Amino acid sequence: MNHNTIDVLLTQPVPEAIDAQLVAAYQVHRLYQQANPQQLLDQLGPRIRGVVTGGAKGLSNALMDQLPALEIIAISGIGTDAVDLRHAASRNIHVTTTPGVLTADVADLALGLIISTLRRLGEGERLVRDGLWGTVNLPLARKVSGIDLGIVGLGQVGKAIARRAAAFDMRIAYHGRREQADSGYRYAADLVELARSVDVLVVAASADSGQVLVTADVLEALGPQGYLINVARGKLVDEPALVEALREGRIAGAGLDVFVDEPHVPAALLDLNQASLQPHRGSATLQTRLEMGQMVLDNLAACFRGEIPPNCA
């Protein structure tokens, strides 16, 4: 079926190959390119039947309410925390995600951040690039293999991190809503106790509940030899408390792919050598983004055929 009379709104760019398929099938409108987004919404809002967005960006209720014909919010990602699912349901709007395909990439990045942060790779690269090798001595780094690793959230991503960590002879423990006895890993019902018992704490939990998990108390328990890694959502960590803990040396370092108010990163973090920072790139490989994009296309097509999309949240 040719859907090119159907209007679809993009809130952010998608890979070229996916973009081309969207353009071939639909009337595509790019909110992210507009100097005056509201003008576009005033003109086209009543015609928009689908929205393609990212997990972190989502779709606000205020924007949703300007789209009276909306049938589907197709998220390229697994997080639904940036979409009000109840509000969408009250209007019979499908909300879809792209589960499964980004698990490996996010787990890979988590391991990359552990290695980068503990081995101080960012500092080493800056030293080489600045021509200071041989004149400046970096502090000795922290050994990665054999550490005690705590994982916050033993879902698909958490389990994938644990499998990779095992190859580095890490001893693995986890905290989550419930114990998973068949996992083979040590369960900690109390997150503060988990933080106290590990060298590195990795946040891989769902942010759908929206509550802060890594509080000042958790960071205090992690201690001056401990490291925090976050590949989930920035809002799961008390960001001001994290900045202060890093500044004051109350934790040893942090590897962060996500922040509370993206793309805005606390200025204090930029000057801290013990922080490894990434611009929310957990799933940002061409291969995975193409897979995610295909799932978005499949979800849209099913919806506009009058079917329940295959990946409803």
Q: Which residues are catalytic?
A: 233, 262, 280
User: How far is the C-alpha of 152 from the C-alpha of 131, rounded, in Å?
Assistant: 39
Residue 255 phi, psi (nearest 5): -120, 115
Six-digit token pair at 206?
């769902």
User: What is the C-alpha to C-alpha distance for residues 53 and 150, in angstroms, rounded to an integer?
Assistant: 32
CB 6 within 8 A of CB 69: no
Q: Distance between CA 35 and CA 22 in Å, rounded?
A: 22
- By the 8 A CB rule, do 159 and 134 touch? no
Distance CA 47, CA 131 (A): 57
Q: Which residues contact 42 (CB under 8 A, 6 or more apart)?
A: none
Phi, psi dihedrals of residue 44, rounded to the nearest 5° = -115, -10
Q: How far lies 34's CA from each of 2, 12, 38, in Å?
A: 27, 11, 9
Give CA 126 to chain center in angstroms: 26
With beta carbons less than 8 A apart as the criterion, state whether 111 and 164 touch.
Answer: yes
